[in-house]
Amino acid sequence: MDKNATHRVKRGFLKAAHLFGLFIAMAIICLPGLWIVLSSLRPTVEIMAKPPVWIPRNLSFDAYIAMFSGVGQGGIPVIEYFRNSLVISVTSTVIALAIGMAGGYAFARYRFAFKSSIFLGFMLTRTVPGIALSLPLFYVYAKLGIIDTHFGLIMAYVALNVPFTVWLIDGFFRQVPKDLAEAAQIDGCTRWQAFWQVEFPLARPGIASAGIFAFLISWNEFALASQLTRSVNSKTLPVGLLDYTAEFTIDWRGMCALAVVMIIPALTLTFIVQKHLVSGLTSGAVKG
């Protein structure tokens, strides 16, 4: 066998090994999600079986039927929880993106006193776990009278997401050459027009990736929501999972069914913006 044939065989083997490794990694990553979907369709006796039942024997949509048939009749208020999650997540994401764009652009384009220290301070706030903020936030919110409101949870999520959006959008704006905006201004554009017509379109992938991450953080957050909400008027879907728990029992099948309902919008949004998401993470997050 000549060297070229040996090289092709070796390259084919390495490619096959690489694909096999990726398949194993994806299987491990996707296994918890698949298990949740199967658990929402299988009877409780199979969910609690030891050793676990890997291949379900009986599948049914009873958990989903029970979830939605009880809406408005004293059952789990899924529609209200979904509406609360959507309003809070979308609103907090839009506000965080607006602040993140302004802050990220300022850090990327302008020089001012204590710029590095302020940026470092923003990043250090990400090191504080959300659960550590729940008690002081609860105390402040109680004094302000905004516990169990959309406004209170939106403000908490904005504060949680702004440092990340500033960091990511700052990194992406650094990849956009300043000369483009300057050339647009020479051609007659104002500073504002140069931003919206030249720099913003080029930074769109980074902004999209920052938005999807901010939305997912707000959509899936549980620790703060469980402390700052009390009633159906403001509870989100993650907090709604607790409705399936009782003093001595847990409805695992119903809880998994609601988890699937939570996953579908997040997966759909991620699929829609996946091209911008990949582009934003591979280009915008690289500091210049």
Q: 136 and 212 in one domain?
A: yes
Considering the domain architecture, whether residues 259 and 201 belong to the same structural domain is answered as yes
81 and 49 belong to one structural domain? no
What phi and psi values does residue 250 have, to the nearest 5 degrees? -135, 130
Write down which residue in 22, 43, 60 finishes a domain: 60
Last residue in a domain, options 37, 60, 83 = 60
Query: How far apart are alpha carbons 221 and 219 in whole angstroms?
Result: 6
As a whole number of angstroms, the distance between CA 78 and CA 70 comes to 9
Structural domains counted in the chain: 2
Q: Taking the alpha carbons of 229, 132, 223, 160 in that order, is the dihedral positive or negative? A: positive
In a shared domain, residues 104 and 226:
yes
Place of tokens 């908490």: 156
Helix or strand or coil: residue 122? Answer: helix
Residue 129 above 80 pLDDT? no
Cα dist from 216 to 181, 211, 220, 263, whole Å:
32, 9, 6, 10
Task: Look at residue 5 and tell me whether its pLDDT is greater than 60.
Answer: yes
- Note the pLDDT tens digit of each residue in 246-261: 777 888 888 898 899 8
pLDDT digits (tens, 9 = 90+) for 224-237: 898 899 888 899 99
Query: Could you tell me the residue range of the domain that residue 200 belongs to?
Result: 67-284
Q: Same structural domain for residues 48 and 170? A: no
Confidence band of 87 (pLDDT split at 50, 70, 90): very high
Asked if 205 and 268 sit in the same domain, the reply is yes
The verdict on 152 and 246 lying in the same domain is yes
Side-chain half-sphere of 219: how many Cα atoms within 13 Å? 20
pLDDT tens, 155-205? 999 988 998 898 888 888 888 788 887 788 787 788 788 888 888 888 888
Task: Give the residue from 214, 267, 216, 253 showing the smallest Cα distance to 238.
Answer: 216
pTM attached to this predicted model: 0.81
Q: 7 and 94 share a domain? A: no
The last residue of a domain, from among 60, 84, 102: 60
CATH number for the domain harbouring residue 258: 1.10.3720.10
